[in-house]
Amino acid sequence: MTSESTIHLSDEALNDVLIGMGSSASESHLAACPLCRGKVEEFQSDLGAWNLTTLKWTEARAERAGRIQARLSGIRPARRRPPLAALGWALAVAALLAIAIPVGRESGMFGTNHGTTVASQEDSEAQIAQDNELLKAVNAAINPDEMSPLKEYDLFGRPHPRHRHRPQ
């Protein structure tokens, strides 16, 4: 780099000018040299057009899709919601419960707690049996060729040695 107008700015000096870290010598050279100034202005102009275009493109994309707005629109500080709206909801729920509970009792809609417990117990036993079946199937699938030790030594159906000749 030099400040003489006959020798133009080096690439490094030009880069420094473009990133806003140009030396005073570079700045004074630019003031005097239309060629180097033209290079800087052309780059800045291209960059400006690119920035404008890309910003318009992303604005259009964000607007067209409306995804960002839609996804974030559900997230708002709770305190920004008018307090009367929350109170209204609470009153509506209370009124609904006040009507629904007596009606439900009269019509026998709500069963006893005992019945519910038995049903859930039965469900859970059925579920346990089903889970056991599933585990057996998984075991069989994992080791299909492995023989059970009971089968291998033919222990099925044999009486236990201690029980063979038990005196009557």
Partner 1 sequence: MGAYASSEFIDMVPRSRVEWRCARRARAIGELDDIDGLVKNYSARILRFVTYSTGDPDLAETITQDTLLKAWMGRENFRGDCSVKTWLTGIAINVTRDHLRSAKFKFWRQTRSTALDVQDLAAFLPAEGSSPERQMLAREKVRELSQAVEGLSPNQRTVFLMKFVEEMPVAEISQVLGMPVNTVRTHLHRALSSVRSRMGAKL
Positive or negative: CA dihedral 5, 9, 10, 13:
positive
What is the residue type of 85? A
Counting beta carbons within 10 angstroms of the beta carbon of residue 81, is it exposed (0 to 12), middle (13 to 18) or buried (19 or more)?
exposed
- In whole angstroms, what separates CA 87 from the centre of its chain? 32
Q: How far is the CB of 62 from partner 1 (least distance, A)?
A: 5
Segment contacting partner 1 by CB under 8 A, of 70-78, 81-89, 138-146, 147-155: 70-78
Segment contacting partner 1 by CB under 8 A, of 59-67, 91-99, 109-117, 144-152: 59-67
Residue 30 near partner 1 by CB under 8 A: no
Assess contact for 36 and 9: CB atoms under 8 A.
Answer: yes
Residue 29, SS3 per DSSP: helix
Residue 10 near partner 1 by CB under 8 A: no
CA distance 36 to 7: 10
Residue 81 near partner 1 by CB under 8 A: no
- In whole angstroms, what separates CA 106 from the centre of its chain? 46
Counting beta carbons within 10 angstroms of the beta carbon of residue 1, is it exposed (0 to 12), middle (13 to 18) or buried (19 or more)?
middle
Residue 77 near partner 1 by CB under 8 A: yes
Residue 53 near partner 1 by CB under 8 A: yes
Among 4, 27, 46, 123, the residue binding partner 1 under the rule CB under 8 A is 46
Residue 23 near partner 1 by CB under 8 A: no
Residue 69 near partner 1 by CB under 8 A: yes
Q: Which is nearer to partner 1, 1 or 40 (CB)?
A: 40
Q: How far is the CB of 74 from partner 1 (least distance, A)?
A: 10
List of residues contacting partner 1 (CB under 8 A): 11-12, 14-16, 18-21, 39-40, 42-43, 46-47, 49-62, 65, 67-69, 71-73, 75-77
